[in-house]
Amino acid sequence: MVAPQDLQYTAEHEWVLVDGDTVTVGITAYAAEKLGDVVFVELPEVGSTLAEGKVVGEIESTKSVGELFAPVDGTVTEINDAVVDAPELVNTDPFGEGWLVKVAFTQLPTLLSYDEYAAITGE
């Protein structure tokens, strides 16, 4: 699965969709593939304050445990309860139903373009 070109990315293999002063965040198909079958997702609570670059959650697979990093400073406005209940959504639809959190931010940091992210992953 190729990463959508209209999203922005982080070097930690997260995708970011900017909508006004809110971002939706998930992990990329590349990250989901490297993790393997996702069996558990731990997300921050709604109302939590996030700091860019800090660990905010965990994604556990049959092969390993990966950390979820905040791509922005902000406040969690929504979490995807469907992913908590059915973690396999991260594997089957990482850019859609497998989104993880929505965050209200005050300043958008520099994120990677599709081309910059593709250069990191070699895809």
Assigned domain for 123 exists: no
| Domain CATH for 84 | 2.40.50.100
Mean pLDDT of all residues in 80-94: 96
Q: What percent of the chain has pLDDT over 90?
A: 86
Position 2 in a domain: no
At residue 78, the pLDDT reads 98
1 within a domain of the structure (yes/no): no
| Model pTM above 0.85 | yes
Total domains in the fold of the chain: 1
Give the single-character DSSP code of 89: H
According to DSSP, the β-strands at 74-79 and 101-105 are: antiparallel
- The greatest distance separating any two alpha carbons of the chain, rounded to the nearest whole angstrom, comes to 37
Residue 120 confidence (pLDDT) above 70: yes
Q: What is the mean pLDDT of the chain?
A: 93
Q: Do residues 62 and 40 make contact, with C-beta atoms less than 8 angstroms apart?
A: no
Question: What are phi and psi for residue 93, nearest 5 degrees?
Answer: -150, 65
pLDDT of residue 1: 58
The answer as to whether 116 is a domain residue is: no
At 6, is the pLDDT very low, low, confident or very high (cuts 50, 70, 90)? confident
In whole angstroms, give the CA distance from residue 104 to residue 113: 21
Tens of pLDDT, residues 53-75: 999 999 999 988 999 999 999 99
pLDDT score of 123: 72
The Cβ of residue 113 has, within 10 Å, a number of other Cβ atoms equal to: 12
How does residue 7 score in pLDDT terms, banded at 50, 70 and 90?
A: very high
Q: Which domain holds residue 97?
A: 8-108
Residue 2 scores a pLDDT above 80 = no
Is position 3 within any domain? no
